[in-house]
Amino acid sequence: MLAGHPGVRSETRSKVLRALAETNYQPNAMARAMKTSQTGSIGVVVARLSNPLYPAMLQVIGTQLARAGLRMVVWDSEHGGDEPASIALRQGIVDGVILTTATAASPFLRDAMNSRTPVVLVNRTVEGCVCDQISSDNAGGAARIAHYLLGCGRRIALIGGSLEPSTIRERERGFREALTRENEPLPLQLYQRVDTFSHASGREAILRLLDLAAPPDAVFCANDVIALGAIDGARNRGLRVPEDLWVVGYDDIEMASWDAYDLTTVRQPLEEMARLATELLVERMRKPGGNAVTHCLPNDLVIRGSTSRTPFPAESGRAKAGNKEKT
């Protein structure tokens, strides 16, 4: 475990190695890991295991890492914050890190960037952060939803949340800018902000919107879990979906396609994102340095029964990659 370790003086190394050679000492696997700095483990940080998007992401990332002969170590940043992950990083028990929930304010991201451990951001991105970043076109996907709803002549509302995660920020930006470009900017009263991205929040937010003097007849929710709550809230109020209210989500989590909800949503290419993240990470581990790469993948609008099944108006249903909308 001393061979090639930069912190060990050659005098120490030779003395220790001589002592070990004399006594036929066999280093164990952990000692070998120290020597090569190859633990075979990759740390993956997720935000809320209660949002089925993250278990789904772990499934595809786990599969891709296993294919590359690597083990996945999962940290749930909701429990004990990012601290456990930062400690693990300092102890060198992982060869690389995949962050699915980075924000500019994340202390772990700062620690990770300061370590020499390769880091890849997937899903959420952080502007100005010099590391590999992989996302799908959140602004473009949301803009397509705006065009779809406007094209069908709906009175549109938006349920959003914290603008700190890039995913939510980009979706809200893409959605609002698309409406503004069509001279239909979102009225202030048709926006509801939720504090947590949960079923309960979506349920409460739609009830507030339905209490308006002129309630919406279509709502875009910044993620699927909120949208499922919005459907349940509206039905509880006696409304039918889609006859009285259209509901659209974002992510295409498994239950979005279940009959009870049949939710129109945007599907991110999770497998492709996980494959790219693993490839980039393995490449960085093999050959440190080099320019940081950013990928913004295209995504699909999936029209289901929570909106009319009217086909998408203009071109067919795929948002272009890197399709950043300008005001």
- Give backbone dihedrals phi and psi of 73, rounded to 5 degrees, phi first: -110, 120
Alpha-helix runs per DSSP H in the chain: 10-23, 29-36, 53-67, 83-91, 107-114, 138-151, 166-181, 199-210, 224-236, 270-286
Whole-number Å distance between alpha carbons of 56 and 119: 20
Three-state secondary-structure class, residue 116? coil
* Closer residue to its own copies in complex, CB, 62/317: 62
Instruction: Please report, for residues 10, 94, 106, 264, the alpha-carbon distance to residue 223 in angstroms, rounded to integers and kept in the order given.
Output: 56, 31, 21, 11
Site residues, its own copies (CB under 8 A): 1, 7-9, 11-12, 15-16, 18-20, 22-23, 25-26, 28-31, 33-34, 39-41, 49-50, 52, 54-56, 58-59, 62-63, 66, 71-76, 78-80, 84, 87-88, 90-93, 199, 203, 228-229, 231-233, 235-236, 254-255, 258-261
* Closer residue to its own copies in complex, CB, 179/234: 234
Question: Smallest gap, in angstroms, from Cβ of residue 201 to its own copies?
Answer: 13
- Closest-CA residue to 39 (of 73, 74, 5): 73
Question: Smallest gap, in angstroms, from Cβ of residue 94 to its own copies?
Answer: 10
* Closer residue to its own copies in complex, CB, 88/293: 88
CA end-to-end distance (rounded Å), the chain: 57
Q: In the structure encoding, which two tokens stand for residue 118, read together?
A: 């390769």
- Positive or negative: CA dihedral 108, 114, 115, 121: positive
Whole-number Å distance between alpha carbons of 257 and 125: 27
Question: Smallest gap, in angstroms, from Cβ of residue 223 to its own copies?
Answer: 15
Question: Smallest gap, in angstroms, from Cβ of residue 95 to its own copies?
Answer: 12
* Closer residue to its own copies in complex, CB, 190/234: 234
Question: Smallest gap, in angstroms, from Cβ of residue 194 to its own copies?
Answer: 16
Contact 281, 244 (CB under 8 A): no
* Closer residue to its own copies in complex, CB, 62/269: 62
Question: Smallest gap, in angstroms, from Cβ of residue 70 to its own copies?
Answer: 9
* Closer residue to its own copies in complex, CB, 5/320: 5
